[in-house]
């Protein structure tokens, strides 16, 4: 039944694209996030739906879309440079087969992020893409949230999401970071949406999605998610008008939630401050040290999956206290091989070297600055009909900073969802640029003179 439902939905989505080609773009975004071909075992699992949707989106744009004012922004050139550079490192990779496998989906994410801003020509398109992204993530987090409420998640890596293959957005740490990213976007939709206009039902649903998103770090017991929640909480303080009310509400919510949290969650979160006792955190630190050393001899990176050659050795230290001055110290020597980076920054450094890391940082820092410029430009005295710009720039900036901070502890440097955020930012910036260019500055400004000079007629 689920197979039929999803197949009919995808077919209907693509069919709607025949009437309005931009819907192909939305269909691709949906397929990329949800992965209906992973959810089903039927027809969709055997058809390259993602490729079909992208081909339709591109052909639809080429043939039927208006391209007035479409231009590449500097960020898209950075993205293009990153794409070319990654292609070169894949050719020279230390593990060519594994690198080619990762490249097979990375290039699609980068190409889509390059293409997306060209299609986001209207406010409604920007809104529609955000809506599809939020609802697509909702497909994963609503169930995850309900299961967390019902069972507390069951421990690290135990929460069963819709698809149990631990890849893409269905991986616990990644979904806990991405779920927090979409909270500001869901709140923006509830206030400024036109597809679903603001009403109590829309607000209730948006709050429900946000609640499910906050439950994801608890359910997956991913420490990254908790850090992301903290970062978003601090950033929202900046944009809220009633700061004291906000602080009071957050404090009360935290105090109410604390006793309800599962014990396994609080135990795992307590290891954030004591990495020596935790194997996972110790592994990360050792892999990061290995990556820095590796980059000294391979400054241009080792290509995708270069981590496969690492071997780290470290000791975990545990203290069992039997009294105030009586503790048994237990040390374990751990040897691990081929451990992933668990950090987007070190992922970029190890795989793409300093040039790749530089391009990636430039891409994201430009985004943070671009959104800051937009939010300030329209913060006061926004023209009629543009009151939504500052809150959207704010939401996109918050999502990106959550991604950048969460990315310090998860390898999501090439996560397609995050490149959709980049595409959205470029699209918003390009759209506002076109709006500004349609209001040309006055050709000649009248001088302020007290009285025109009186010329005497020549006799």
Shorter beta-carbon distance to other proteins: residue 13 or 103 = 13
Nearer to other proteins, 118 or 306 (CB): 118
Residue among 374 and 404 whose Cβ is closer to other proteins: 374
Q: How far is the CB of 444 from other proteins (least distance, A)?
A: 22
CA-derived radius of gyration, the chain: 25
Please tell me the distance from the alpha carbon of residue 232 to that of residue 181, in angstroms, as a whole number: 8
Which 8-state DSSP code applies to residue 384?
T
Smallest separation (angstroms) from other proteins to the CB of 48: 21
398, 232 in Cβ contact below 8 A? yes
Beta bridge partner(s), residue 328: 320
Distance from C-alpha of 40 to C-alpha of 42, rounded to nearest angstrom? 6
Compare residues 140 and 371 and give the one whose CB is closer to other proteins: 140
The CA–CA distances, whole Å, from 394 to 95, 192, 237, 375 equal 40, 13, 12, 6
For the bound state, the minimum distance from the C-beta of residue 345 to other proteins, rounded and expressed in Å, comes to 32
DSSP-H helix ranges across 273-409: 279-297, 344-377, 389-406
Least CB distance from residue 105 to other proteins, whole Å?
A: 23
What are the residues binding other proteins (CB under 8 A)? Answer: 2, 5-6, 9, 12-13, 16, 19-20, 22-23, 26, 30, 39, 65-66, 68-69, 121-125, 128, 131-132, 135-136, 138-140, 142-144, 146-147, 150, 162, 195-196, 205, 385, 431, 434-435, 438
With H, G, I as helix, E, B as strand and everything else as coil, classify residue 334.
strand
Nearest residue to 393 via CA among 377, 381, 405, 407: 377
- CB-nearer residue toward other proteins: 145 or 411: 145
CB of residue 46 to other proteins, shortest distance in Å: 20
Strand 311-323 and strand 326-337: the pairing is antiparallel
Joined together, the tokens standing for residue 24 give 């192909």
- Between 6 and 174, CB nearer to other proteins: 6
CB of 383 to other proteins, least distance (A): 9
Nearest residue (CB) to other proteins, 91 versus 436: 436
Q: Report the nearest approach of other proteins to the CB of residue 16 (Å).
A: 5
End-to-end CA distance of the chain: 100
């Amino acid at each position: 039944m689920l197979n039929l439902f999803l197949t009919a939905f995808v077919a209907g989505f693509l069919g709607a694209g025949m009437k309005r080609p931009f819907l192909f773009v939305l269909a691709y975004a949906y397929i990329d996030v949800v992965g209906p071909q992973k959810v089903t075992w039927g027809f969709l699992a055997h058809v390259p739906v993602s490729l079909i949707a992208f081909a339709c989106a591109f052909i639809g744009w080429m043939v039927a879309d208006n391209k007035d004012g479409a231009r590449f922004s500097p960020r898209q050139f950075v993205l293009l440079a990153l794409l070319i550079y990654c292609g070169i490192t894949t050719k020279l990779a230390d593990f060519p087969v594994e690198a080619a496998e990762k490249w097979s989906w990375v290039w699609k994410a980068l190409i889509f992020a390059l293409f997306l801003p060209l299609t986001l020509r209207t406010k409604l398109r920007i809104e529609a893409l955000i809506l599809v992204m939020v609802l697509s993530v909702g497909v994963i987090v609503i169930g995850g949230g309900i299961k967390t409420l019902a069972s507390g998640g069951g421990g690290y890596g135990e929460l069963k999401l819709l698809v149990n293959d631990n890849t893409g957005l269905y991986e616990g740490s990644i979904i806990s970071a991405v779920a927090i990213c979409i909270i500001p976007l869901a709140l923006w939709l509830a206030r400024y949406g036109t597809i679903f206009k603001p009403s109590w039902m829309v607000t209730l649903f948006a709050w429900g999605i946000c609640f499910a998103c906050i439950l994801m770090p608890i359910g997956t017991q991913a420490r990254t998610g908790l850090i992301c929640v903290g970062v978003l909480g601090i950033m929202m303080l900046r944009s809220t008008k009633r700061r004291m009310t906000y602080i009071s509400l957050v404090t009360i919510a935290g105090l109410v939630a604390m006793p309800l949290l599962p014990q396994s969650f609080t135990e795992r979160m307590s290891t954030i401050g004591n990495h020596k006792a935790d194997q996972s955190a110790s592994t990360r630190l050792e892999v990061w040290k290995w990556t820095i050393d590796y980059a000294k001899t391979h400054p241009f990176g080792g290509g995708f999956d270069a981590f496969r050659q690492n071997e780290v050795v470290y000791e975990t230290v545990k203290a069992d206290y039997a009294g105030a001055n009586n503790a048994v110290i237990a040390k374990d020597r751990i040897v691990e091989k081929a451990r992933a980076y668990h950090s987007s920054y070190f992922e970029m450094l190890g795989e793409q070297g300093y040039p790749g890391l530089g391009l990636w940082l430039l891409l994201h820092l430009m985004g943070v600055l671009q959104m800051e410029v937009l939010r300030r430009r329209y913060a006061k005295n926004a023209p009629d009909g543009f009151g939504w710009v500052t809150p959207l720039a704010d939401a996109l900036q918050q999502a990106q900073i959550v991604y950048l901070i969460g990315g310090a502890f998860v390898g999501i440097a090439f996560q397609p969802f995050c490149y959709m955020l980049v595409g959205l930012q470029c699209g918003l910036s390009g759209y506002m640029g076109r709006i500004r260019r349609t209001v040309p500055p006055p050709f000649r400004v009248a001088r302020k003179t007290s009285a025109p000079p009186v010329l005497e007629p020549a006799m």
